[in-house]
Structure 1
Amino acid sequence: MAVVEVKVPDIGDFKDVEVIEVLVKAGDQIAVDQSLVTVESDKASMEIPSSAAGVVKALRVKLGDKVNEGSVLLELDAAGAADAPPAAEAPSTPAVPAAAEPAQPEASPPVALPPAAVGVGFASEPRHHTPPTAALPVHEPAATTALLPHASPSVRKLARELGVPLAEVKGSGSKGRITAEDVQAFVKAVMSGQTVTQAAAEAGVGAGKGAASLGGLALLPWPKVDFAKFGPVSSQPLSRIKKLSGPNLARNWAMIPHVTQFDEADITELEEFRKSSNERMAKQGVKLTMLAFVMKACVTVLKQMPAFNSSLDESGENLILKDYIHLGFAADTPQGLVVPVLKDVDKKGLAQIAKEMGELAATAREGKLKPSDMQGATFTISSLGGVGGTAFTPIINAPEVAILGLSKSQIKPVWDGAAFQPRLMLPLSLSYDHRVIDGAMAARFTTVLGELLADLRRVLI
């Protein structure tokens, strides 16, 4: 029996990277270049492949371990390689099957990721559309139904969040392994009209020649323009966050019937209270922001109107009401917008909300958010108050059913019954899913929220 130690190869300048996924277990038959673990630094994540083939005799790492170049990952019985079929014919089983993970889209944010969330929603396309006269080519399945597609848990999770059928994705990795780039390429192909999914084809969902299919919608193909003929041009790749969030935003905008309710809240007294409170709390290292007050007020409104704190199930016929309130908030980072999630906001006071929100925002700017930091939001708030603007239409972060946008507050003359008074008004933009929420409900939401912000003592009643 030839026992081989498989070690971490040269991974560049990365030191003490954390093991976030273990993709094999003792007894698994693995092939050369098959992924063994996924490691993550503060800048990137990567899969470590096997340098030899054989049967896993013993694992030498576990989740959370820190490894460097030369660290031993596992012991391999190289003699067992001849006793089992290659991994390309029988994909390895991860230590924790990806299918057992809940399919939770992230963060979306106007946003984020995600960890907050990205997708195009192929899996739940309706099946009652009239077939087009000319269908797009159907993407050929890359694997038979008898075998699972060869992909890591992280790629499987990404595919679930995008609604991508992995069996129809052709892998470009070693031994036909499906990579995250393959999944993203499949999404782009469907959105650009180069292909349709098997489910869409069987349902008669497609479009005329050259059209794109998105959730059963027949869309014109993206225009192909040679911009260079009009003048000098240059090409700049999108950031990773924009590449991931783009398909999600397109899916949400195309498949959710958005309506936006615009309103204003008088925050004159609240702003004075916020400033005076910050003077008292400066020694505690806590800074109260207007967003913290809005979160606290939203908790009260969400409890009064639970439909805004719900999600539609996959059938679209049942509403899932949540007994917890996790609020996502858009955070601007050098890499792009992300949506950290503040958990159990209904159980926290203003100071704790402000403190945890500041910590999450700082972690986001450093690029150190964990996936769990961007998951589970029931309602999202996107604030542009620090930038400007009077109103906007935030895109709903599916599977949520509403999102609140905040713009820059400004002094306006408001009639008090006897004279115009200068009041500080905060613009509110509430986008909602019209399948779940009607206009009257949305108007009541912003009205109640405005009343609470005008006199936050109402939260105590």
Structure 2
Amino acid sequence: MGIFAIRLPDIGEGVAEAELIEWHVKPGDIVKEDDILAAVMTDKAAVEVPSAAEGKVVELGGEIGQMLPVGSVLVRLEVDGAGNESEVQADTGKPAAPPAEPEPATAEAPVKPPAAAPVPRSNGTKPLASPSVRARAREEGVDLRQVPGTGPAGRISHADLDNWIASGGIQQGGVIRAQNTGIEEVRVIGMRRRIAEQMALAKQRIPHITIVEEVEMSALEDLREALNAKHAETRPKLTLLPFLIRAIVESVREQPGLNARFDDEAGVIHRHGGVHVGIATQTPQGLSVPVVQHAEAGSLWDNAAEIARLAEAAREGSIKRAELSGGTITITSLGPLGAIATTPIINYPEVAIVGINKMQIRPVWDGQQFQPRQMMNISCSFDHRVIDGWDAAVFVQKLKTLLETPAMLFVEG
């Protein structure tokens, strides 16, 4: 028997360290080659680290939330054969300690509840589950402390949640409700920590000015529905976003100062010729902003297909780091949950962001009477250090004109 050290691999150009955000194994577990050992977070995306060998886990190389340098030991395995113990000794200065044999479970002091017994966890005990499982549990009204997990260390999978729901585990009306005195401590790590840092940076360094404008959307919605009906079998479905991207491309052609990134430390504004539009996307791990590169060169359907591809990759966690960087202006939307107006936070170091709000039928005065019209507010925020209020207002009015008269989106020059 030998010890095999699995090290944190090089997971991207320029990445020197990564944050450990999730363990998929624990000491004593038997893993096979390519089994997922842990998930780490770089400055852009989460990455799962597979095992390079088969063996028994004898040591974990860090705690959740810890920053690990590339090349540091992530997991040590006890393997058949010699392993690579010389690496372990060089790294630690001493031979790897033999694994401790786990104490056998007894009836009086079980190691953990049997997987089939839905015994509630004690207050303050956090069940192990991925962010997507937690999100589903919240949607379904399931208390994960009640759900038995069949994964390593009692980890709850989607299958465990499905079984719990199918078995009638969700309590219906008529139950006796007791006081819940538990307090769950949630560490801000991984994607949530990245989001928190980015939002704090944007608000600390950028003096925002936000303009809200009302837009009449009837003509654009009629055009969108007609195009979708005509090309339903051959082209991607058009949402509002490709039209808005086209309107942004036309608007920044006249105001290139808004399609820019501001290096405030160097005091330099980088005005870009290409329009690289970030699309704020909600994922199980948190907010992500994939970028439609060179939107100015794509048709409505090209951009629609790229938006759909990037959104799916972001939600699955398979998006590449390069696809999450380089944006020059961002679109944000809460979809059907949107409100009448929002005050979007700029995606630093960009200088402008366009927010889409809820579309609804409202009464509009036409000069003689009120008429029902399909209306939507747009909320646009600007970096007031480099964008004057007048220029911001001109940009918003240009967007309004193009969205209310969508034929202008297809007029060259």
1:291, 1:383 within 8 Å by CA — same for their partners in 2? no
- Which region of structure 1 is more displaced relative to structure 2, 325-334 or 410-419? 410-419
Cα pair distance change 1:428/1:255, threshold 3 Å: same
Cα pair distance change 1:299/1:22, threshold 3 Å: closer
TM (normalized to structure 1)?
0.52
Equivalent of residue 44 in structure 1, options 21, 31, 39: 39
Q: Secondary structure at the match of 2:231?
A: helix
Cα pair distance change 1:367/1:414, threshold 3 Å: same
Q: What amino acid does structure 2 have at the position aligned with 1:9?
A: I
Matched, 1:359 2:309: yes
In 2, the alpha carbon distance for the partners of 1:330 and 1:271 equals 22
In 1, the alpha carbon distance for the partners of 2:361 and 2:284 equals 31
In 2, the alpha carbon distance for the partners of 1:294 and 1:23 equals 34
Q: Indicate the residue corresponding to 1:261 in structure 2.
A: 211
Equivalences for 1:173-184 in 2 at 5 Å?
none
Q: Indicate the residue corresponding to 1:313 in structure 2.
A: 263
Q: Indicate the residue corresponding to 2:52 in structure 1.
A: 69
In 2, the alpha carbon distance for the partners of 1:457 and 1:386 equals 26
In 2, the alpha carbon distance for the partners of 1:41 and 1:422 equals 55
In 2, the alpha carbon distance for the partners of 1:427 and 1:294 equals 13
Equivalences for 1:12-411 in 2 at 5 Å?
20=12, 44-45=39-40, 69-70=52-53, 152=70, 232-238=182-188, 240-284=190-234, 286-315=236-265, 317-411=267-361
**Which ranges in structure 1 are unaligned for 5 or more consecutive residues?**
1-5, 12-16, 25-38, 48-65, 72-149, 154-173, 176-229
In 2, the alpha carbon distance for the partners of 1:320 and 1:40 equals 44
Cα pair distance change 1:390/1:44, threshold 3 Å: same
In 2, the alpha carbon distance for the partners of 1:40 and 1:341 equals 31
Cα pair distance change 1:236/1:449, threshold 3 Å: same
Larger-gyration structure (1/2): 2
TM-fit CA distance, 1:398: 1.1
Matched, 1:9 2:6: yes
Q: Secondary structure at the match of 1:325?
A: coil
TM-fit CA distance, 1:292: 1.4
Q: What amino acid does structure 2 have at the position aligned with 1:44?
A: A
Matched, 1:424 2:374: yes
Residue deviations 1:217-255, cap 9 Å, x none? xxxxxxxxxxxxx96532233462111110111111011
Q: Percent identity?
A: 35
Q: Secondary structure at the match of 2:381?
A: strand
How many matched pairs?
A: 268
Residue deviations 1:255-278, cap 9 Å, x none? 111111111111111111112221
Cα pair distance change 1:458/1:46, threshold 3 Å: closer
Q: What amino acid does structure 2 have at the position aligned with 1:272?
A: D
In 1, the alpha carbon distance for the partners of 2:383 and 2:259 equals 12
TM (normalized to structure 2)?
0.58
In 1, the alpha carbon distance for the partners of 2:254 and 2:184 equals 52
In 2, the alpha carbon distance for the partners of 1:400 and 1:282 equals 36
Q: Secondary structure at the match of 2:318?
A: coil
Residue deviations 1:167-209, cap 9 Å, x none? xxxxxxx79xxxxxxxxxxxxxxxxxxxxxxxxxxxxxxxxxx
TM-fit CA distance, 1:439: 1.3
In 2, the alpha carbon distance for the partners of 1:361 and 1:42 equals 26
Q: Indicate the residue corresponding to 2:383 in structure 1.
A: 433
TM-fit CA distance, 1:314: 4.1
